[in-house]
């Protein structure tokens, strides 16, 4: 049996594929692209997670417990009590901060201030002098500038022993000197090259953290007793210090990245979905074309199951080749995407440098499985149809043209059913969750519109034939007729293309609406004339502070009317940290409130201890106006009434606003991350900028942005965020266009006899080519119409359901009518282009051969 099957496989699959090399290649390509995109996104996501885990390894080392300082840091005087605490077997203090390196554009270092006397049991890296082996303690402890950098960072920037780095912290220049090397322990360890280390004492001085620690790492004498130790440690710590295992911090970040990464994965699956349409198409074409072959095989005693297996194995063979190509291509594509993904994560979530691709066998296994499964699912229906085929009918001559031309209304009803399901799923995703139901809705939209395709195509075909006949365009009329005659095949091609177009349009509309919404939000909220922040905050987020003398200078400047100050901190709320923005009120900042009287809310905000929350925060944490937030403060748990909810698009984790008086009364910390300056009517932003630069920012320690420049910056970040989306969208469209080429090629092969007859009754090669080009143009047109329609529906799901459910953002729908109107044009052009090669081949058909079977 097996041997016989192998012989069958060789004769009927391998030979077939070899004979139709071009066709096979296109199939392999489409599966390959889909698998590559899926794998690349998996790799990029996993690499980002690994890179983050590696940073935890470096910072927390072999700690079993980590005490993390609150906003102002942990007072370093708490260390001895923690180190001596019962159950603690080893403890080491850590000071951590970020410096930017203005001479190496865009570069920064995460400086770890280490205590070499206590951190030996915790280290996951090795410290040595830069040149010699060993470790110059005298230099480490005694030299204020001595810094350990990673080997990779040294290599990247051609740094050597003794080189001086200009580093900026809190708007001031410092000098650091390359003196030591930080090397990961063990061959498999990955260290983010941005990690640097210096003595804890000098780090406190450099980072302006005298008297405070960022964290204390602990090892325990009995890990099983951890919860009791945590509870008793809280007794010697400030109430807003967190005590947790290092892994818990990792989980927190992983949860935060989860939504973003799931979105990328979902996008990557669209290419695979388009690929499935193509496989379906190819296999069903091959079934139709080989009706006689099937009939003969069945007559010779080959069973239905064997027929099914034969066609499935054909698809499997193509799929397997595609998967192999896709696995290779995926790694290459991951290299391209990695930088973008890591940059987006840094901008939106957490400062992260992902340099290494992290590969696991599991990842390849899942990509291969997903790829092969999608191929088998796509091939199942046509293979089953082949198996069902009646051998007698199959052998009847002249029956080569598709039998399923009579359209079943079932398709249409199924389509409608899917669309109704999409609405239902959207409702569930928005009201109760889980948010991923939104992806289900998106899938149903695509599926629903795909199922409508046959009806639409048939209607179009008949209508077009009537119109074109009236216009006496023979070639076009024939083409329109062909469209309905190979209805299933054409429908599948159209559905594939329409799905890709839908995705492109859905994503475009979503991004466009998002951009428009952000634009109007920026117009509403960004009213200041000048924004001032330490330059390092641009690179690494709000980690540096503006020195008081700089604030005073601006405050007292003649051109300045009023000033808003801005401070961003993380505050523990329950088991997680939430971002809290502290603003000094001059009542200039205009919050676009979701509901309520803005003026009254703002008055309350500045008058009494309360908070404002962003819309995404409200959605994520299930809170709303009138309720309270329980935040852990230096004075212990405090409850803050929510005075209002405002629209905000800066972060999907959500944001809490607190007035500076409220914050100061509890946190007693008046440091400022940035300023928004409102000028007097006659004041000049340029004059203030140049005076400020001359005084405080000779070497670029501060970033000063005018209103217009800040807007520009915001949209640069916005576009950066969607860069990966654009890449994925383009790939899906490419796959679909490959599909047109594929379909026409199969159609031509299938209609060889018919085309022969066409030539025999006097049709010229040119006319034949024109018919085929017309036909592919029409495929493009129908696909464009359905694609635009389903794209608009999809954009509703993406914008109104997925974005809201995942990120809690309200986005006002906006449509880029211009580019939407152009979509059919370029789809048709692409379709015609894709038809050129098959049409050219058809024109070269040799008449006698084409008609030999007749």
**Minimum distance from CB of 68 to another protein (Å)?**
19
What is residue 241's three-state secondary structure? coil
Q: How many CA within 13 A on the CB side of residue 838?
A: 31
Query: What DSSP assignment string belongs to 376-407?
Result: HHHHHHHHHHHHH--HHHHHSTTTTS-STTSP
Distance CA 684, CA 677 (A): 11
Q: Measuring CA to CA, how many Å separate 32 from each of 25, 35, 271, 441, 539?
A: 10, 5, 10, 26, 37
Q: How far is the CB of 103 from another protein (least distance, A)?
A: 26
Residue 641 φ/ψ region, left for φ over 0, alpha for ψ in the -120 to 50 degree band, beta for the rest: beta
Residue 6 CA to residue 223 CA, distance in Å, equals 59
CB burial of residue 400 (10 Å; 0-12, 13-18, 19+): middle
**Sequence-separated (6 or more) residues with CB below 8 Å from residue 89:** 219, 220, 221
Q: 76 or 653: whose CB is closer to another protein?
A: 76
- Omega of the bond prior to 549 within 30 degrees of 0, cis? no
Distance of CA 84 to the CA centre of its chain: 46
Vertex 532, ends 526 and 533: CA angle to 5°?
115
Q: Which is nearer to another protein, 27 or 204 (CB)?
A: 204
Q: CB of 217 within 8 A of CB of 377?
A: no
Please state the closest distance from residue 234 (CB atom) to another protein, in A. Answer: 21
CB atoms within 10 A of CB 251: 13
Q: Footprint of another protein on this chain (CB under 8 A)? A: 76-77, 79-80, 93, 113, 115-118, 120, 129, 134-142, 199-202, 204-205, 210-211
The C-alpha R_g of the chain, in whole angstroms, comes to 33
Whole-number minimum distance, CB 215 to another protein, in Å? 14
Q: Is 132 or 848 the residue whose CB approaches another protein more closely?
A: 132
The two three-digit tokens of residue 550, written as one number: 């700089």
CB of 567 to another protein, least distance (A): 24
Looking at beta carbons only, is 142 or 258 nearer to another protein? 142
Inter-residue contact 276 to 375 (CB < 8 Å): yes
Q: Angle between the 487-525 and 246-289 helix axes, to the nearest 10 degrees? A: 150
Q: Report the residue number, 202 or 512, with the smaller CB distance to another protein.
A: 202
Q: How far is the CB of 142 from another protein (least distance, A)?
A: 4
Q: Tell the smallest beta-carbon distance from residue 79 to another protein (Å).
A: 7
**CA neighbor of 674 nearest in space, from 759, 529, 566, 570:** 566
The nearer residue to another protein, 134 or 762, going by C-beta atoms, is 134
Here the tokens at position 776 are 């592919």
Compare residues 137 and 467 and give the one whose CB is closer to another protein.
137
Residue number, 141 or 395, with CB nearest to another protein: 141
Task: Kindly state the smallest distance separating residue 82's Cβ from another protein, in Å.
Answer: 11
Q: Which residues pair with 287 in a beta bridge?
A: none
Nearer to another protein, 209 or 289 (CB): 209
Please, which residue, 9 or 135, has the CB nearer to another protein? 135
Our CB check for another protein shows the closer of 201 and 259 to be 201
CB of 713 to another protein, least distance (A): 36
Give the whole-angstrom CA distance, residue 490 versus residue 776. 9
Task: Report in angstroms how near the CB of residue 429 gets to another protein at its nearest.
Answer: 52
Tell me how far, at minimum, the Cβ of 83 lies from another protein, in Å.
9
């Amino acid at each position: 049996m097996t041997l016989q099957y192998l012989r069958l496989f060789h004769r009927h699959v391998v030979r077939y594929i070899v004979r139709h090399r071009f066709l096979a290649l296109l199939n392999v390509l489409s599966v390959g692209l889909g698998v590559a995109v899926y794998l690349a996104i998996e790799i990029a996501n996993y690499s980002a997670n690994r890179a983050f885990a590696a940073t935890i390894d470096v910072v927390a080392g072999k700690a079993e417990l980590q005490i993390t300082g609150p906003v102002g840091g942990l007072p370093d005087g708490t260390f001895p009590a923690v180190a001596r605490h019962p159950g603690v077997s080893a403890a080491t203090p850590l000071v951590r901060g970020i410096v930017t390196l203005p001479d190496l554009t865009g570069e920064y270092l995460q400086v770890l201030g280490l205590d070499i006397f206590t951190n030996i049991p915790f280290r996951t890296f090795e410290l040595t002098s830069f040149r010699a082996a060993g470790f110059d303690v005298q230099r480490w402890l005694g030299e204020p500038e001595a810094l350990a950098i990673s080997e990779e960072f040294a290599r990247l920037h051609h740094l050597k022993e003794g080189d001086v780095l200009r580093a900026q912290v809190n708007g001031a220049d410092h000098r650091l000197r390359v003196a030591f090397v930080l090397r990961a322990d063990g061959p498999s360890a990955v260290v983010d090259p941005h990690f640097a280390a210096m003595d804890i004492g000098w780090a406190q001085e450099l980072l302006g953290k005298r008297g405070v620690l960022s964290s204390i790492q602990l090892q325990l004498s009995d890990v099983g007793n951890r919860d009791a130790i945590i509870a008793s440690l809280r007794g010697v710590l400030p109430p807003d210090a967190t005590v947790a295992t290092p892994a818990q911090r990792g989980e927190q970040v992983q949860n935060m990245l989860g939504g973003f990464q799931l979105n990328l994965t979902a996008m990557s699956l669209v290419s695979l979905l388009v690929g499935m349409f193509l496989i379906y198409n190819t296999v069903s074409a091959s079934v139709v074309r080989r009706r006689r072959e099937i009939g003969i095989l069945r007559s010779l005693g080959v069973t239905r199951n064997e027929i099914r297996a034969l066609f499935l194995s054909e698809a499997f063979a193509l799929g397997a080749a595609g998967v192999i190509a896709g696995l290779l291509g995926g790694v290459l594509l991951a290299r391209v995407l990695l930088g973008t993904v890591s940059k987006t994560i840094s901008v939106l979530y957490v400062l992260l440098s992902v340099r290494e691709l992290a590969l696991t066998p599991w990842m390849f296994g899942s990509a291969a499985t997903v790829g092969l499964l999608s191929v088998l699912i796509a091939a199942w229906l046509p293979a089953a149809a082949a198996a069902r085929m009646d051998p007698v009918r199959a052998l009847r001559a002249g029956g080569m043209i598709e039998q399923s031309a009579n359209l079943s209304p079932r398709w249409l009803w199924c389509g409608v059913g899917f669309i109704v399901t999409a609405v239902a799923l959207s409702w569930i995703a928005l009201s109760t969750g889980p948010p991923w139901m939104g992806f289900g809705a998106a899938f149903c939209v695509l599926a629903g519109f795909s199922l409508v395709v046959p009806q639409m195509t048939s209607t179009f075909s008949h209508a077009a034939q009537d119109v074109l006949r009236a216009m006496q365009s023979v070639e076009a009329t024939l083409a329109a007729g062909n469209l309905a005659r190979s209805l299933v095949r054409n429908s599948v091609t159209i559905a594939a293309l329409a799905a890709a177009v839908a995705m492109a349009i859905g994503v475009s509309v979503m991004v466009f609406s998002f951009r428009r919404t952000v634009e109007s939000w920026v117009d509403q909220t960004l009213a200041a004339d000048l924004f001032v922040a330490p330059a390092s905050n641009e690179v690494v987020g709000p980690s540096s502070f503006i020195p008081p003398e700089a604030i005073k200078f601006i405050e007292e400047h003649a051109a300045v009317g009023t000033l808003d100050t801005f401070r961003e901190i993380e505050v523990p709320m329950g088991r997680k940290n939430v971002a809290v923005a502290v603003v000094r009120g001059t009542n200039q900042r205009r919050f676009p409130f979701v509901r309520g009287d803005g003026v009254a809310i703002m008055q309350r905000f500045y008058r009494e201890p309360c908070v404002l929350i962003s819309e995404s925060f409200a959605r994520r944490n299930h809170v709303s106006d009138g309720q309270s937030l329980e935040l852990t403060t230096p004075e212990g748990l405090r409850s803050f009434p929510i005075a209002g909810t405002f629209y905000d698009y800066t972060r999907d984790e959500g944001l809490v606003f607190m007035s500076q008086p409220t914050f100061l009364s509890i946190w007693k910390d008046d440091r400022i991350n940035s300023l928004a300056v409102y000028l007097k009517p006659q004041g000049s932003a340029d004059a203030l900028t140049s005076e400020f630069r001359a005084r405080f920012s000779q070497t670029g320690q501060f970033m000063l942005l005018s209103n217009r420049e800040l807007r520009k910056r915001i949209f640069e970040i916005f576009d950066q965020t969607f860069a990966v989306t654009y890449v994925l969208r383009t790939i899906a469209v490419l796959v679909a266009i490959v599909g047109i080429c594929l379909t026409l090629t199969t159609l031509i092969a299938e209609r060889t006899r018919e085309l022969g007859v066409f030539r025999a009754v006097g049709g010229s090669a040119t006319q034949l080519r024109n018919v085929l080009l017309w036909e592919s143009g029409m495929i493009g047109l129908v696909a464009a119409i359905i694609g635009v329609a389903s794209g608009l529906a999809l954009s509703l799901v993406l914008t109104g359901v997925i974005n809201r459910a995942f990120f809690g953002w309200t986005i006002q729908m906006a449509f880029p009518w211009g580019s939407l109107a152009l979509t059919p044009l370029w789809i048709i052009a692409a379709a015609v282009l894709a038809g050129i090669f098959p049409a050219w081949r058809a024109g070269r058909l040799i008449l006698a051969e084409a008609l030999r079977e007749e």
